[in-house]
A and B are shown apart, each in its own frame.
Chain A
Amino acid sequence: MRLRLAFILTTLLIVAAACTQPQDTQTQASPPPPGSGLQGEAESLTIYSGRGEDLVGPIFEKFQTETGITLNVKYGDTAELAALILEEGSNSPADLFFAQDAGGLGAIAKEDLFVDLPSDLLELVPEAFSANNGQWVGISGRSRVVVYNTKSVKEADLPASIDGFTDERWKGRVGWSPTNGSFQSFVTAYRKLKGDAAARDWLNAMKVNDTKVYEGNSPIVKAVGAGEIHVGLVNHYYLLNIRKDEPGITAANHFYSNGGPEALVNVAGTGILKSSRAQKTAGELIRFLLSSEGQEYFVQETSEYPLIEGVEPLPTLPALSELDSPDIDLSDLDDLEGTLELLRQAGLI
């Protein structure tokens, strides 16, 4: 009996020893002097990805096979990874941060942890989809939509703008996710376009109208498909992804295309960390993601909008130019504090 315990302990010890073997480190060069473009190359890159492995893993694989550069990817929640980078500061092992939304990128840019990207990278996408200060660049676009249950709601019956959901008719039928980054970006856009007072009124009216709170977009789309609620405020691609598994889901997206905050097109994007010793290599990865091959991948696999010229979105989606996204600078969406204060006052977070 004692032997067995000793055996277990030894096994644990061996396993533990086996896994503390150091990971091979990348080329050790001294960090580059500031303001001299991207510096440093390496055989491997460390990426913090706020986008899931199921969404972006395959395109990273492709880059590895084509270039022979090893990518070590850490997947996680965009905001948590941003918190991680802020906590790590200049000791961050990350070369590149791939974030779900402009808000996460803004948080890093604010602390001045990103390098300025070279203009040949920034010029690949329309100006609206990169940072004002050139510290991050959008990779793919996503539109805010209203997802509705096609059995319970006719598209024609949806209100003309997001404000219509405060009507008695929609009481208890709408779902939202106040803790979600995309939703918060939308509220920030609302504030920028219509002012804080209007945003506060809208939030309160929605809350009074018994809008249901969900944890994230997938549960909302699931709930709409099940008929638990009839309408959900989400990003466009969740439904398209769920449909791959559940072709029969009785839900559809409604694009507002009215220049209001509900028509906001946000981006998933990347920035290169100042502390990186492989900035040039990281730049190559961004160039790859913004190549037609990379962009085609996002069209097919994540159902998002391509941002470069010459690649078309899925034919089932309205064109990017038709979406009539509000005239707003995505860099301004980093003013999260004000939005969170509103959400707190409304008792939503």
Chain B
Amino acid sequence: MIRAFGSGTGELAGVVLRPRTLGLLIRTAGLAVAVTAAAIVIAVPLAWFTTRSDLPWRRFWGVATALPLVIPSYVGGFAFVAALGPRGMLQAALSPLGVERLPEIYGFPGAWLVLTLFTYPYVLLTTRASILGLDSSLEEAALTLGKTRWEIFWRVLVPQLRPAVAAGGLLVALYTLHDFGAVSLLRFDSFTRAIYVSYRGSFDRTAAAILSLILITLSLLIVAAESRSRRRADYHRIHSGGGRRTLVIPLGAWRWAVFAGCTFLVLISLGIPVAVIGYWLVRGTTGANAIEPTLTAAFNTLRAAAAGTLLCLLAAWPVAALSVRHPSRMSRFIETSSFVGYALPGLVVALSLVFLTARWVPFLYQGLALLALAYGVLFLPQAVGAMRASLLQVSPQLEEAARTLGAGRAGTFFKVVLPLVRPGVLAGSALVFLTAMKELPATLLLSPPGFATLATRVWGATNDAFFARAAAPALVLIALSSVPLTFLVLKERSQEESGLARDGR
């Protein structure tokens, strides 16, 4: 698929590069690095606080701090400009104090802020899943050896979490590369924006194709860096000791400071967008007639996202299994190339699929299957990453044992491997499902005529400045995508607790 895509655009290549391209490249890479770093700084401690500490309302924060992921960046971008812009709502609230104008959020700071706030949950989710899968007896062992909490965090937890943090960080970095909504609304000139401009302005497909190839190269570099950081190591355990009661670490006086920090984070990343959209809804007069189309659109969104998720899961399993169990040059190549789609702007992926299918498989063209395929190409790495992380924790010896005991290949897979990687599979599907729901550029181009989704409704309305009409579908979109995410986080919990119950018996 990916290679076919390469040949689709490859034939368009062969045009002069502009000097501006280098500047763009540096700016875009800088943004990706800054966003990823900030996301890790926020997410890793947060993952630990919401799984291992005695933070008040730990369960609630587990869900709430992951939720910003459901906000589409094109909605979040609008909301942040409306709220924190030079003359936004915050300024209006502060104007009695004589604040005439807030500093510009446009450009790098704004794009950095918005992208960090809406992507750190990627790292949070992968890291949490990994912490919950860890065997706390390692920590206990370290504790009995006289190590301090701090040393344990750095020397026992962090090395074990590295694959998960790297997988999450990779998703953040690639998301930053392909995002269009946030960078365009916050007026940051990134590579993806340049690609869009060259499509929109000049219908110039060649220049856009070349820019896309550069973006692919950049993303391959990032993927390579990630797999380097994942040193050869065994992360799995053989016995099932993980069901034991996990350590809860008292935060002492810091409890409420962490609590305040979580509150602040959620207020900013979730509160601002929801409040702004709510304000559009309440204030506007044109919002009321948006109810019925919103329902149809919600149904369509669910259908398309479900089809995409299924396709993604089917494609992701072999990639993940191959890369974990049979590491080789080939499997690494396959895995790496599966990330390319994710780093590319949706518009580029969509147009290359158009190029391929309109010509050679017209019966697929403009059907829902094609849209599902696009979601598959775009979001494969999310599923692969989550599956791989949990597969890494399953010892191959368990499979071997099952085979020795007479189970067939299929039996081993369904009875041994699948139950053990289920958290990863579920996490992967939930991620793919909710990102597919909010995906916009490919949905716009590839959905069958007459097939409106929530994302396209929101886009259409904001584009024509009908903000009130955008509010209902935007809120429904956020609410609907919260469901898989909440499920995902609570699922982790119930697993932890079922472990507890087993332990008690």
Task: Give A contacts to B, CB under 8 Å.
Answer: 1-2, 5, 8-9, 11-13, 15-16, 18-20, 22-23, 46-48, 52-55, 71-77, 79-84, 86-89, 91-94, 107, 179, 181, 184, 212-219, 221-223, 226-228, 238, 241-242, 244-246, 336-337, 340, 343-344, 347, 349
Contact = CB atoms under 8 A, between A and B. Distances in A.
A53 B200 contact: no
B369 A72 contact: no
B449 A93 contact: yes
A13 B201 CA distance: 40
Contact of B185 (A11, A107, A219): A219
B284 interface: yes
Given A20-B368, A54-B469, A79-B203, 10 more contacts: A2-B419, A5-B418, A53-B293, A80-B200, A89-B358, A107-B203, A218-B465, A238-B465, A244-B286, A245-B284
Contacts, number: 188
B419 A87 contact: no
Contacts of B18: 344
Contact of B452 (A53, A107, A246): A53
B362 interface: yes
Contacts of B461: 52-54
Contacts of A2: 414, 418-419, 422
Nearest to B304: A19
Nearest to A91: B358
B278 interface: no
A79 B187 contact: no
B318 interface: no
Nearest to A58: B289
B467 A340 contact: no
A72 B452 CA distance: 11
B310 A87 contact: no
A241 B465 contact: yes
Interface stretch (B83-91, B232-240, B245-253, B386-394): B83-91
B48 interface: no
Contacts of B87: 223, 226-228
Contacts of B465: 217-218, 221-222, 238, 241-242
Contact of A83 (B81, B199, B359, B450): B199
Contact of B449 (A22, A47, A337): A47
Contacts of A92: 358
A71 B450 CA distance: 8
B123 interface: no
A9 B304 CA distance: 15
Interface in B197-227: 197, 199-205
23 contacts: A8-B426, A15-B302, A15-B306, A19-B304, A19-B306, A20-B368, A22-B367, A55-B464, A73-B449, A75-B456, A76-B444, A77-B200, A79-B200, A83-B200, A87-B205, A179-B197, A216-B463, A218-B463, A219-B81, A219-B185, A226-B87, A228-B86, A241-B465
Nearest to A246: B283
Interface of B: 18, 20, 81-82, 85-88, 106, 184-185, 187, 194, 196-197, 199-205, 280, 283-286, 293, 302-304, 306-307, 309-311, 313, 347, 351, 354-355, 358-359, 362, 365-369, 372, 414, 418-419, 422, 425-426, 429, 441, 444-445, 447-450, 452, 456-457, 460-469
A55 B202 CA distance: 25
B484 to A, nearest CB: 10
- Tell me which of A12, A54, A179, A337 has the highest count of chain B C-beta atoms within 10 A of its own C-beta: A54
Contact of A74 (B354, B414, B449): B449
A20 B369 contact: yes
B320 to A, nearest CB: 16
A74 B469 CA distance: 19
Given A20-B367, A53-B457, A79-B203, A88 B187 contact: no
A20 B359 contact: no
Nearest to A55: B464
Contacts of A84: 351, 354, 445
B27 to A, nearest CB: 13
Nearest to B371: A19
B211 to A, nearest CB: 12
Nearest to B360: A91
B182 to A, nearest CB: 11
A1 B494 CA distance: 11
Nearest to B18: A344
A19 B307 contact: yes
B448 A72 contact: yes
Nearest to A12: B310
B291 to A, nearest CB: 14
A241 B204 CA distance: 32
Nearest to B468: A245
Contacts of B284: 245
Nearest to A336: B202
Nearest to A225: B87
Contacts of B184: 215
B354 A5 contact: no
Nearest to A220: B465
A18 B369 CA distance: 11
Contacts of A76: 444-445
A91 B369 CA distance: 18
A296 to B, nearest CB: 19
Given A74-B450, A244-B286, A93 B366 contact: yes
A89 B365 CA distance: 13
Contacts of A218: 462-465
Contacts of B20: 344, 347
| Among all A-B residue pairs, the 10 with the closest Cβ atoms | A72-B449, A79-B200, A218-B465, A72-B450, A16-B307, A226-B87, A15-B306, A52-B460, A74-B449, A245-B284
Contacts of B194: 349
B464 A83 contact: no
B203 A349 contact: no
A8 B445 contact: no
Contacts of A222: 82, 465
A118 to B, nearest CB: 25
Contact of B354 (A73, A87, A179, A227): A87
A84 B293 CA distance: 25
A223 B187 CA distance: 13
A51 to B, nearest CB: 8
B463 A18 contact: no
Nearest to A245: B284
A53 B460 contact: yes
- Tell me which of A23, A52, A181, A246 has the highest count of chain B C-beta atoms within 10 A of its own C-beta: A52
A106 to B, nearest CB: 10
Nearest to A227: B87
A46 B449 contact: yes
Contacts of A344: 18, 20
Contacts of B362: 91
Contact of B306 (A16, A52, A227, A238): A16
Nearest to B450: A72
Contacts of B347: 80
Contacts of A89: 358
Contacts of B358: 87-89, 91-92
A19 B372 CA distance: 10
B463 A23 contact: no
Contacts of A83: 199-200, 203, 205, 351
A241 B469 CA distance: 12
